[in-house]
């Protein structure tokens, strides 16, 4: 019974969408020969390059944060003893994420000559960070908790600004200077599981519609190069699309008789 | 379609790890894409083309993942399970 109660089908749907988009998002640049124009704003490109980078840009604006959101949602668990919780967390996560990261990373390096699977490394670090924050904030109110999570976002943001070349310097082995891009989605997942009322709120139709409109507006602002738009786009575009896709996934499940999931 | 998404979601780690080995690259298609100057045509073409290759890559990843999982040690090393 417990297993049925803890199963969230919408999370599998979102994981499925994200993974499918990830594979599509690898096919497009590899077919085009990984051109630099994919990383430039649309307003700076000739027309055919702009059209060719549109699908890539939409996919890359939210697909990996979507995976981190699901991971954060499934990560959250209540705990009794903080020391035992952290010890257990480190061991379990290392076994589940670091072992495949090191083994398959080495395998890929031997087969293709480059390191890979940065998601596993980022997810491991985020699991530890969220675990420590969960212990640290366990007696605090929701608002203080969110405030502390926000402070850590800026710490990670500054860490990225201080170590922008960490990925290149380590030949792709250490990637977590990019954590600030995925931390908000992961923490949003944790908070949605922890606070069911907030999770129910973001499932409302008008909230999801607003989220979709916000995503479109931010995408346009980013691509036409509005000053300061990039920071808010990187932060809010993935979150708004996650809110929309989450509501859509639950709606689909409800139509098929899936019922409530909180 | 969404049933497929659930199935893919259940294999997300396996697909993430293995799909890199099964993506086929056809540079000639890339040259054709770059010559198209119409937004609707190029977007539709990219979606259909990349989705088709993604399906092939995902199916192959799931088949190989199921095979790897028959060995306990490989299952642990590849997927941490």
pLDDT surpassing 70 at residue B62: yes
Query: Chain A residue with minimal CA distance to B50?
Result: A24
Distance CA B16, CA B21 (A): 10
Q: Please list every residue in chain A whose beta carbon sits closer than 8 Å to the beta carbon of residue B56.
A: none
Pair A130, A187: CB distance under 8 Å: yes
Q: pLDDT per residue over A119-141, tens digit each?
A: 999 999 999 999 888 888 888 88
pLDDT score recorded for residue A260: 45
**Mean pLDDT of the region A16-20:** 95
pTM of the model: 0.91
pLDDT surpassing 50 at residue B6: yes
Asked if B4 reaches chain A (Cβ–Cβ under 8 Å), the answer is: yes
Name the residue among A17, A32, A49 with its Cβ closest to that of B5.
Answer: A17
Chain B, residues 7-66, CB within 8 A of chain A, namely: 7-13, 15-17, 19-21, 23, 25-27, 29-30, 33-39, 42-43, 46-47, 49-51, 53-54, 57-58
pLDDT surpassing 80 at residue A2: no
Distance CA A250, CA A55 (A): 25
Nearest CA-CA distance, residue A28 and chain B, Å: 6
Question: What percent of chain A is modeled with pLDDT above 90?
Answer: 50
Contact A27 B50 (CB under 8 A): yes
**Mean pLDDT of the region A43-59:** 92
Nearest CA-CA distance, residue A141 and chain B, Å: 34
pLDDT surpassing 50 at residue A159: yes
Contact B35 A48 (CB under 8 A): yes
pLDDT score recorded for residue A261: 43
pLDDT surpassing 80 at residue A223: yes
Asked if A117 reaches chain B (Cβ–Cβ under 8 Å), the answer is: yes
Q: pLDDT per residue over A93-122, tens digit each?
A: 888 999 999 999 888 888 888 788 889 999
**A140-144, A206-210, B61-65: segment of lowest average pLDDT:** A140-144
Q: What is the predicted ipTM?
A: 0.95
pLDDT score recorded for residue A140: 85
pLDDT score recorded for residue A207: 95
Contact B27 A55 (CB under 8 A): no
Q: How confident is the model at residue A5 (pLDDT cuts 50, 70, 90)?
A: low
Looking up tokens 């969404």 gives: B2
Q: Please list every residue in chain B whose beta carbon sits closer than 8 Å to the beta carbon of residue A112.
A: 20
pLDDT surpassing 50 at residue B15: yes
Pair A71, A123: CB distance under 8 Å: yes
- Percent composition of chain B: helix, strand, coil (DSSP 3-state, to 5): 80, 0, 20
Instruction: Compute the mean pLDDT over every residue in chain A, rounded to the nearest whole number.
Output: 86
């Amino acid at each position: 019974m417990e297993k049925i109660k803890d199963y969230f089908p919408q999370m599998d749907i979102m994981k499925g969408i994200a993974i499918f988009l990830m594979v599509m998002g690898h096919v497009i640049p590899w077919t085009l020969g990984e051109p630099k124009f994919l990383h430039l704003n649309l307003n700076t490109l000739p027309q055919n390059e702009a059209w060719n980078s549109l699908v890539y840009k939409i996919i890359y604006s939210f697909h990996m944060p979507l995976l981190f959101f699901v991971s954060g949602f499934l990560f959250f668990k209540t705990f009794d003893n903080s020391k035992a919780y952290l010890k257990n967390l480190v061991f379990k996560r290392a076994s589940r994420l670091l072992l495949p990261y090191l083994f398959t990373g080495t395998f890929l390096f031997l087969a293709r000559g480059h390191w890979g699977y940065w998601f596993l490394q980022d997810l491991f670090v985020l699991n530890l960070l969220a675990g420590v924050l969960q212990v640290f904030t366990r007696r605090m109110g929701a608002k203080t908790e969110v405030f502390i999570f926000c402070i850590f976002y800026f710490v990670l943001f500054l860490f990225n600004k201080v170590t922008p070349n960490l990925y290149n310097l380590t030949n792709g082995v250490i990637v977590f200077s990019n954590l600030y891009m995925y931390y908000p989605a992961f923490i949003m997942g944790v908070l949605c599981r922890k606070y069911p009322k907030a999770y129910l709120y973001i499932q409302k139709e008008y909230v999801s519609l607003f989220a979709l409109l916000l995503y479109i507006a931010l995408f346009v602002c980013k691509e036409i190069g509005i000053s300061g738009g990039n920071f808010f786009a990187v932060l809010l575009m993935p979150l708004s699309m996650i809110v929309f896709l989450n509501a859509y996934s639950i709606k689909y499940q409800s139509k098929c008789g899936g019922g409530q999931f909180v | 379609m969404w049933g497929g998404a659930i199935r893919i979601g259940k294999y997300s780690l396996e697909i993430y790890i293995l799909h890199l080995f099964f993506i086929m690259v056809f540079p000639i298609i890339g040259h054709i894409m770059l010559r198209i100057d119409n937004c609707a045509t190029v977007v539709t073409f990219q979606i259909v083309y990349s989705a088709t290759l993604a399906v092939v890559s995902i199916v192959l990843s799931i088949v190989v993942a199921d095979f790897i999982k028959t060995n306990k040690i490989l299952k642990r090393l590849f997927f941490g399970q």
